[in-house]
Amino acid sequence: MHELGYATELVATLEELMDQEHLSVIRSVTLRVGEATGVIPRYLYECWPAAIEDSRIPDCELKIDYTRAVGRCRDCEEEYIASATHGVCPKCGSKEYDLLNGYEFEVVEIHGK
């Protein structure tokens, strides 16, 4: 389960931010996590309490904005949810596509003071 590693690194990053921005508390953090990263939000949520337990942010709430992996067919330009069709274009049947998004793993919002 690599989600614990992600959670631990996120906590370290947030603690560094607290020092840089002179914050005394971080109440919540919102992540955008893409489907193509392989990160499973449910597992990340489950790891979060252990990651923050002995940190400087023991009450920080984790929020996750999960984005689906959208592909664009190289043959007909159709855009579709790649995982829903196993990478096969629903319009022309081509298996050639480029992912437009789904690799995101980024902090999009922090609430602190």
In this prediction, residue 1 carries a pLDDT of 58
pLDDT tens, position by position, 1-14: 589 999 999 999 99
d(CA 82, CA 100): 10
Supply the pTM of this predicted model: 0.86
Regions of the chain where pLDDT drops below 50: none
First to last CA, the chain: 32
In this prediction, residue 94 carries a pLDDT of 98
Domains of the chain with bracketed CATH: 3-112 (3.30.2320.80)
* Residue 37 three-state SS: helix
* Residue 27 three-state SS: strand
Residue pair 78/91 in contact by the 8 Å Cβ criterion: yes
In this prediction, residue 78 carries a pLDDT of 98
